[in-house]
Amino acid sequence: MNWEHGKLAFTLLLGFGLGAYYTQYVIEKKWQSFEPFHYQKNTIPVNLEEQVDFSKGSEKALRSTVSIKAWKSSKKESTGSGVIVDTNGHIATNYHVIKSAQLIEVELHNQVVLPAELVGFDEFSDLAVLKIHTDIPLSPIVFGNSDQLKIGQWVIAIGCPYHLTSTVTKGIISGIGRDIGILKNQLDNQEFTDLIIESFIQTDAPINPGNSGGPLVNLQGEMIGINTAIASESGYFEGFAFAIPSNLVLKVVKDLIVHRRVIRNYFGIKASNTKNPFFYKKINTNGLEISSVSLNSPAFRAGLMEGDIILSINDKKIQNYPDLKQKIASFSPNQSVTLKIFRNDQVFEIKVELEEVNSYLQR
């Protein structure tokens, strides 16, 4: 009887052991062959940057980039960068680079140094236009469309930091429509701070003192912004830099060249991103809620009202109030724009005819 019990016990133990071993073997095999449904082998490169060519865009834009020296007195020198915008010798840069300058010099990509004259400036956008006179063939920058930018796309910053000409750095677009309040502190007349346009492109491409006024370009070498400022407590690059969108640059530069001043639009509202919970339940997008409408303004005459939520302008989505101001500034006075509006649970369109701001504001 004991022998029979022993055989039974041995058989049971052997069965349990073999069963456990087989179960573990199957589990390990299945786990080794398991692949998450969203993963595919050999489709994602180990180093994405190895697949990106920065050289073509850099080479193209470098020929359009210049170094600028501005003397505000016999001993005080300001340095920055600029970008050639046409074959007639016009150069765009930041106003703060040449502000109050008594003498301005420009160094081309081929190291030729030429005197430059100030054509005009706009302190509300921190832009200025210079002109050089030369028989040397110039390579104007190609303007890109800053309204088509996407967060995360590659960009190249070009300029002359620390007197180092033709310096190239790379990064991505980190944000769009940034208002950092820097231009208000630079404004001579604080009465007109509402005319300031701050809707910067934010990038992590390293930008340092001397880069101001140089181009921010895409991989094709098209200028999508002008490098303007850094967010830093030390005065040196700490991870955040800002550029003026190219569409605004183009409008301001054209006005300064043709009219020697900026023909600025008047719209007549104040607004901020809406916090209306009913709006977000109905519309799955950002919206800009109007907080006030100026009497007899273009917005007032078009029928815009306090509480209206702006969805887009000419089918272009609005990020925030600075973004709206930048887009409005890119149009010409007397031009009609179409706003998509949310009001009383309905979406409809309103046409607004822009007009030039009163001439005394330009003084």
Residues with catalytic function: 96, 126, 212
Dihedral (CA of 90, 94, 100, 106) sign: negative
Q: How far apart are CA 273 and CA 276, in angstroms?
A: 9
- For residues 85 and 91, the answer to whether their CB atoms sit within 8 Å is yes
Helix, coil or strand: residue 138: coil
Instruction: Enter the tokens of residue 275.
Output: 């916090």
> Is 75 strand, coil or helix?
coil
By residue count, the chain amounts to 363
How far apart are the C-alpha atoms of 90 and 79, rounded to whole Å?
Answer: 18
CB 172 within 8 A of CB 341: no
Tell me how far the alpha carbon of residue 236 is from its chain's centroid: 20
Q: How far apart are CA 314 and CA 182, in angstroms?
A: 29
Residues 309 and 274: beta-carbon distance below 8 Å: yes
Cα–chain center distance at 273? 19
What CA–CA distance (Å, rounded) separates 132 from 139? Answer: 13
